């Protein structure tokens, strides 16, 4: 199929590149000349393991353009993958979705062929039906589900393992309203051999929010139990190993520690909370999930203070990205931790294998080490992100406060505190 991808952030670039690998012709619609010129040389400008290699491998099937109407005319299918960031009050910002819907609608007006629009951006339930489709219909003068196809198809990719997640997904969720669109999507995803769950458009949008909310809830639950375990001298990782053996519960997303960050869980939970309030519902569990998450980083500082008077000491920070195998620092737990250390008048030496430059932009005055080993010379070491290479360091004679459970530090450090164990 000929497919255009609007939005070449993380979701759009991964989706387009993986669809090219499945044999489809991909047109990335970009907004800046840098991306337009770099993608054809196999560079995505996104840090995601394996992405640039896959892009390079499939270049013959990939092109870029800044001309959205032309991309629509030349393709049969369009994925909308633009960002839906948070407003200051936590509510969802739909500006990009709105803008792009107007442009796509106008382009559909002059497209003689049948075209299918698929929204992959994370949007609150009802957004497709009350905002996107009405704009598309008004601008094109055509009817959705009759003159053009439409679907909502949320993504479940995790940063750092997105390519693996695309090709080996547990399920594909499609929100559809007409048999023709359903058929198009089933054909598109058939090579992935994954269960396809077809439902209504607004239900599919809700599945995305419910999945992220549940995963975040699991983490905050694991952290609350972990805080209790810490007080009682119990290892929460052992507890969740035992708990996770129950097939009704499963062992995933119970890694307790300093909590979740990234561009998805915090943003999506806050958007759902804000939306619930507009519907007159106070979402107590979701609010508590955010509250517990915000409290976790301070636990690390409290543990450090038990062993060291922080003022004037050099504190090493291992890891700045919100998770390993990513350069993303959005809502990274490293941010409140570094802020707290600065407030306590610590000298900081920090290291991350790929996220340092992004972090330096936020905290230009912190010292950044070139290697993880340099960080170990500090008076104490805080482990904030569980990069695999931190498992190879020599922690003997060190004071380590671990927010992510690095096994070797646990075994070796002379003084070791785990946040929830
Ligand atoms: C998350 C979801 O897992 C994806 O399914 C979803 O597609 C994506 O959001 C999205 O909405 O786009 P992501 O944020 O990339 O993916 O990464 P996760 O692996 O879910 O990690 C999120 C945060 O939770 C990280 O800070 C991680 O350290 C933390 N986490 C994760 C824990 O603290 N404990 C765990 O057991 C698991």
Q: Which of 87, 70, 55, 68 is nearest to 7 (CA)?
A: 68
Alpha-carbon gap, residue 177 to 119, rounded angstroms? 14
209 Cβ below 6 A of ligand 1: no
68 Cβ below 6 A of ligand 1: no
Q: Evaluate whether 105 touches 135 at the Cβ level (below 8 Å).
A: yes
pTM: 0.97
189 Cβ below 6 A of ligand 1: no
pLDDT attached to residue 45: 87
Neighbours of 24 (CB within 10 A): 19
SS3 state of residue 81: coil
Residue 145 Cα distances to 43, 108, 129, angstroms: 36, 13, 12
Q: Evaluate whether 271 touches 92 at the Cβ level (below 8 Å).
A: yes
pLDDT attached to residue 148: 97
148 Cβ below 6 A of ligand 1: no
pLDDT attached to residue 259: 98
Q: Evaluate whether 314 touches 378 at the Cβ level (below 8 Å).
A: yes
Tokens 């999506």 locate to 268
Residue 155 alpha carbon, nearest atom of ligand 1: 7
pLDDT attached to residue 179: 97
Q: Which of 259, 256, 263 is nearest to 240 (CA)?
A: 256
* DSSP states along 291-333: HHHHHHHHHHHHHHHHH---TT-EEEEE--SSSTT----TT-T
What is the per-residue pLDDT across 134-176, written as a single tens digit (0 to 9) for each? Answer: 999 999 999 999 999 999 999 999 999 999 999 999 999 999 9
- The tokens of 76 are what? 């049969």
198 Cβ below 6 A of ligand 1: no
pLDDT attached to residue 373: 97
Distance 134 CA to ligand 1 centre (A): 33
pLDDT attached to residue 21: 98
Distance 260 CA to ligand 1 centre (A): 7
Banded pLDDT at 417 (limits 50, 70, 90): very high
Alpha-carbon gap, residue 24 to 311, rounded angstroms? 58
Mean of the pLDDT values across residues 317-345? 98
Residue 154 alpha carbon, nearest atom of ligand 1: 7
Round the average pLDDT of the chain to a whole number and report it. Answer: 97
Pairing status of strand 77-80 against strand 2-6: parallel
The whole-angstrom distance between residue 288's C-alpha and the CA centroid of its chain comes to 21
SS3 state of residue 234: coil
Q: Evaluate whether 310 touches 348 at the Cβ level (below 8 Å).
A: no
Distance 46 CA to ligand 1 centre (A): 17
Neighbours of 354 (CB within 10 A): 15
pLDDT attached to residue 134: 98
Instruction: Say yes or no to pLDDT of 399 above 90.
Output: yes
Mean of the pLDDT values across residues 388-398? 97
Active-site positions read 264
What is the per-residue pLDDT across 56-110, written as a single tens digit (0 to 9) for each? Answer: 999 999 999 999 999 999 999 999 999 999 999 989 999 999 999 999 999 999 9
pLDDT attached to residue 184: 97
Instruction: Say yes or no to pLDDT of 306 above 90.
Output: yes
């Amino acid at each position: 199929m000929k497919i255009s991808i609007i939005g070449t952030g993380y979701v759009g670039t991964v989706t387009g590149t993986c669809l090219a690998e499945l044999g489809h012709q991909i047109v990335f619609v970009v907004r800046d000349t840098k991306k337009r010129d770099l993608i054809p040389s196999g560079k995505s400008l996104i840090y995601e393991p394996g992405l640039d290699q896959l892009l390079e491998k499939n270049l013959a099937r990939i092109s870029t353009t800044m001309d959205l109407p032309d991309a629509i005319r030349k393709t049969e299918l369009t994925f909308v993958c633009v960002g839906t960031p948070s407003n200051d009050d936590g509510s969802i910002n739909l500006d990009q979705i709105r803008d792009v819907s107007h442009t796509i609608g106008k382009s559909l007006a002059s497209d003689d062929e049948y075209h299918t629009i698929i929204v992959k951006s994370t949007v609150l339930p009802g957004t497709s039906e009350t905002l996107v489709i009405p704009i598309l219909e008004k601008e094109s003068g055509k009817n959705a589900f009759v003159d053009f196809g439409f679907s909502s198809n949320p993504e479940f990719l995790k940063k750092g393992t997105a390519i693996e997640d695309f090709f080996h997904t547990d399920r594909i969720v499609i929100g559809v309203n007409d048999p023709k669109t359903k058929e198009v999507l089933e054909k598109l995803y058939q090579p992935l051999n994954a269960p396809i769950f077809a439902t209504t458009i607004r239900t599919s949008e809700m599945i995305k929010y419910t999945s992220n909310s549940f995963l975040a809830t699991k983490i905050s639950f694991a952290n609350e139990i972990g805080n209790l375990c810490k007080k009682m001298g119990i290892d929460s990782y052992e507890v969740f190993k035992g708990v996770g053996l129950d097939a009704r519960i499963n062992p995933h997303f119970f890694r307790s520690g300093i909590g979740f960050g990234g561009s998805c869980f915090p943003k999506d939970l806050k958007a759902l909370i804000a939306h619930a309030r507009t519907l007159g519902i106070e979402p107590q569990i979701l609010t508590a999930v955010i509250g517990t998450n915000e409290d976790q980083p301070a636990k690390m500082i409290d543990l450090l203070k038990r062993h060291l008077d922080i003022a004037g000491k050099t504190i090493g920070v291992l890891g700045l990205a919100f998770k390993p195998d990513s350069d993303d620092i959005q809502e990274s737990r490293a941010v409140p931790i570094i802020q707290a250390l600065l407030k306590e008048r610590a000298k900081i030496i920090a290291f991350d294998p790929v996220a340092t430059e992004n972090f330096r932009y936020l905290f230009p005055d912190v010292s950044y080490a070139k290697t993880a080993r340099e960080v170990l010379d500090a008076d104490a070491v805080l482990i904030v992100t569980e990069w695999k290479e931190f498992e190879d360091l020599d922690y003997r004679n060190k004071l380590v406060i671990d927010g992510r459970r690095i096994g070797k530090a646990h075994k070796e450090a002379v003084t070791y505190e785990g946040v929830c164990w």
